[in-house]
Amino acid sequence: MILNWFSKDYSEVNKQITPQEEEQILAQFQEWISQISEVPEVQAMMTYAEAIDYLQSDMPSHSSVTKGVIIRQEIPEGKLLGQVFLDTNNQLVYRSDGTPYGRQLVAIKLDGQLNINFGNKDLIYVNLKSNKSSFNEFHPRINWQFLSNCFKDLGETIEVIPVMTYENAIKYFITDRPSDPRVKKGALLRQTHSQGQLLAQMFLDSNNEIIDRPDGTPYGRQLVTKKLDAELEDAFDNENLIIVE
């Protein structure tokens, strides 16, 4: 089986960023600037290629990410550059702790291509495409018999819902995250079911191992949904596993 690391290319369906959205993004960046990761060293030169490489290589594993944004601010030391990520609605994408994905750094100069792309604006964006990772590359030990056992270990299914949305699935990983320091990621699995689809949500450590309670059963839940909303269906992309960081 193949694990699609949210690999759909949204470049053809991306919403263009309106002037009003640009203002909103700049305001949000300013609001969150103290919470965005800083590169400590001042860069002598930042090139367009380096900026784009960061956006592609550090793109969050989040199904709705479609764009990377580069923001420019003038400061005494040179140029303050912020790099953040947008979803399909041109909203900032946040980590589970509520802070935006991205980074900020200071560069004394920008190369010609980066200056040309900025022009007289302080924000530029690029459409992004995620990469694919094979299921075995993600976790060689996991096989579908193992995953089936995980469903059983979570206990009896106690809930049937008409529709599971992407928003509600992600919200569970935030609101029901165990207070276990090993927890680094969430896993959402699905199997066919007579009433629709059986979903299991569990938590993983930094080595992508499923984390168990003291009694040996995995943290998490399972439920049956009659259908998935379009965004969650897109996130699965015809596969059966989503990893949420």
pLDDT band (50, 70, 90) for residue 124: very high
Higher-pLDDT residue of 60 and 138 is: 60
Higher-pLDDT residue of 216 and 229 is: 229
Q: Are the C-beta atoms of residues 110 and 170 closer than 8 Å to each other?
A: no
Structure tokens at 75: 């400061």
Query: Residue 45: what pLDDT?
Result: 95
Q: Are the C-beta atoms of residues 66 and 93 closer than 8 Å to each other?
A: no
Query: Residue 141: what pLDDT?
Result: 42
Q: Are the C-beta atoms of residues 51 and 123 closer than 8 Å to each other?
A: no
30 alpha carbon, distance to own chain's centre: 21
3-state secondary structure of 102: strand
Higher-pLDDT residue of 226 and 143 is: 226
Quote the mean pLDDT of the chain: 80
Is the pTM higher than 0.85? no
pLDDT band (50, 70, 90) for residue 63: low
Query: Residue 129: what pLDDT?
Result: 66
pLDDT band (50, 70, 90) for residue 8: very low
pLDDT band (50, 70, 90) for residue 149: low
pLDDT over 60 at 110, yes or no: yes
Task: Report the candidate in 72, 188, 59, 87 with the shortest Cα–Cα distance to residue 120.
Answer: 72
Query: Residue 13: what pLDDT?
Result: 35
CA dist., res. 217 & res. 174, Å (int): 20
The amino acid occupying position 39 is V
